[in-house]
Structure 1
Amino acid sequence: MSVLRDLPGDHLARFATSRWLGPLERVCLPHHAIDLSPSDLALICAHAAGERPSGRFSGTLRDDLAAALAELPQGAHLRLEGCSLRARGQVPRLLTPEDALAALSQPNGRVAACQRLLAPCLSDQSLHLFAWADIPPWSEFRVLVAGGQLLGITQYHPDRGWPEVAAAATRIEAALMRAAEVLIKQVPESDFAADLFLDTSFVPRLIEINPLGPNTGLGLFVARDFDGGFRYVTPSVNSTWHDENDCWRCEALLAGQDLSGNCHKVLPLSAKISL
């Protein structure tokens, strides 16, 4: 979890899931929170760090997971206070308490790094279960905010264009701009990156909120040419240039307007820039 390298634990604690979820629960997927006992939290941390603890998770935790998952028949994904259980780019879909306990028993560098910073600042933590959703890559976007002002909204995956976005760009822009206004009013921090996806009715749903840090992916604002606009990409492969980075030549569009004059650039996959 590279963003943690530059953030102290007390700052990261301000972005604990419980803190931003409260005022924004209505724009998230259905959700259940489970209070973790100190012993269960210690086991999660030990497993995440690659240790082999001898203890077992409590029966209370298993019962709480069973009760929550019974209300989420489509399955769920888990978040701790600082991050999800994403590993190697994948978030596990959990259908049973055994699935959840198995996921919590795996080594996970992101979780371990997060907990090393959070533990001294956040002794009481919860486990969060969000209803599972199959999220098409075209529907993911990132809202960038600094100083309580919108820097811009970018397509989350900048490596290609999506016909679904191009066909409904005006509708998508309006929905995301409304979502950004709500986030700026409700998120209890003035600098953040919020990841959202659009459901089948083009309603934005909040995935997570993270600090805006030196390693935050800026998507199509990689040049830091923030203008408060909405950008998506239309790709075309440059057939005369091939290298191991598998780059695309992209045109950034701001609210459907061609920005090739100042934003047409070659973007490597997962482009990032220091703020």
Structure 2
Amino acid sequence: MRPLRDLPGDHLARFATSRWLGPLERVCLPHHVIDLSPSDLALICAHAAGERPAGRFSGALREDLAAALAELPQGAHLRLEGCSLRARGQVPCLLTPDDGLAALSQPNGRVAACQRLLAPYLPDQSLHLFAWADIPPWSEFRVLVAGGRLLGITQYHLDRGWPEVAAAAARIEAALMRAAKVLIKQVPESDFAADLFLDSHFVPRLIEINPLGRNTGLGLFAARDFDGGFRYVTPIVAPARRDEDDYWQL
């Protein structure tokens, strides 16, 4: 594998949500897309940068948020073309249009930095609302791919070993390996990091696709330690294994 490098804005633009969402729609949570007007996008960028713009978001954006959220009664998490609205490790759950507009009005250095990089290459952008899912920490994993080859699959949260993973390690590995094959075939870029979680039926669901770069978290791998395998932290005591059944099917 070539050394991981910092990524320019044009490369990040190739990972815009709209690009990977299309070919991978069937393995994502239910979602809605809202096209942003130039004025609404400018307001989002200004708020993210910590400014206090005088303008207000358009009535059309409020109406689009209301229509989308009406079809996602459990709530939604909101993603821009380059990143989610995560701040301090938390992603807001949106239940009303006011929730959405409030979230878009908050200072967010991560969003601001992403928008500065994307702006020259992606002048037209959309909002993406995904059905809200409560994701247990044990159920989240990262798939690392370079040159169209699987580098490895790692537990995402590294602070402990999870009994749920140890109890069904073979089942989880098989499901994630099957998912990785689909991702390698369908993601438009050959180098990427994909975050997934397992639903209550142990079916992988895609959270997001990001570039593979110097700042990418490699989980339980090191940059020269890839073996194409599945890694997780073994807990001190693991419960009995669960029965296995079929996995990710497209």
- The question of a shared fold, defined as TM-score above 0.5 by the shorter chain, is answered with yes
Aligned residues of 2:45 and 2:115 also touching (Cα < 8 A): yes
Question: In the alignment, what sits opposite 2:148?
Answer: 148
What is the rounded CA distance, in whole Å, between the counterparts of 1:175 and 1:26 in structure 2? 16
Please say if residues 159 and 235 of structure 1, whose CA atoms lie closer than 8 Å, have aligned partners that are also in contact.
no
CA contact 1:68–1:129 (8 Å) conserved in 2: yes
Q: 1:81, 1:92 → 2: CA distance?
A: 17
The yes-or-no answer on 1:130 pairing with 2:130 is: yes
Paired AA for residue 144 in structure 2: L
Of the two structures, which has the highest relative contact order with CA contacts closer than 8 Å and spacing of 6 or more?
2
What's the CA shift for 1:223?
A: 5.8
Structure 1 segments unaligned to the other structure (5+ residues): 237-275
Say yes or no: does 1:92 pair with 2:92.
Answer: yes
Identity value in percent = 92
- Which residue does 2:74 correspond to in 1? 74
Corresponding pairs, count: 232
Q: Are the counterparts in 2 of residues 47 and 107 from structure 1 also a CA contact under 8 Å? A: yes
Contact kept? 1:81, 1:125, Cα under 8 Å: yes
The corresponding residue for 2:198 is 198
| SS of structure 1 residue aligned to 2:225 | coil
Following the alignment from structure 2 to structure 1, what is the Cα–Cα distance between the partners of residues 216 and 10? 18
Contact 2:166-2:235 at 8 Å conserved across structures = no
1:59-110 C-alpha deviation (Å, 9 max, x unpaired): 0000000000000000000000000000011000000000000000000001
Instruction: Give the partner amino acid of 1:179.
Output: A
Q: 1:15 deviation in Å?
A: 0.2
Q: Corresponding residue for 1:210?
A: 210
Q: Is the 8 A contact 2:155 2:219 kept in 1?
A: yes
User: How much does 1:6 deviate?
Assistant: 2.2
Distance apart, 1:136 and its partner CA: 0.1
2-structure distance, mates of 1:186, 1:160: 32
Paired residue for 1:115?
Answer: 115
Amino acid at match of 1:169: A
The answer to whether the 8 Å contact 1:140/1:196 transfers is: yes
Instruction: Describe the superposition over 1:111-154 as per-residue Cα deviations: whole angstroms up to 9, x where unpaired.
Output: 00000010110011000000000000000000000000000000
CA distance in 1, matches of 2:94, 2:188: 30
Report what 1:164 is aligned to.
164
Give 1 or 2: higher strand fraction.
Answer: 1
What is the alpha-carbon root mean square deviation over aligned residues? 1.0
Gaps of 5+ in 2: 237-250
TM-score in terms of structure 1 length: 0.83
**Aligned equivalent of 1:13:** 13
Code of the residue aligned with 1:65 in structure 2: it is L
Q: Is the 8 A contact 2:161 2:234 kept in 1?
A: yes
d(CA) in 1 for partners of 2:53 and 2:184? 42
Alpha-carbon deviation of 1:235?
4.7
Moved segments of 4+, more than 6 Å:
none
Cα distance in 1 for residues equivalent to 2:214 and 2:56: 38
Give CA deviations for 1:206-234 in whole Å, capped at 9, x if unaligned: 00010000111111113631111111112
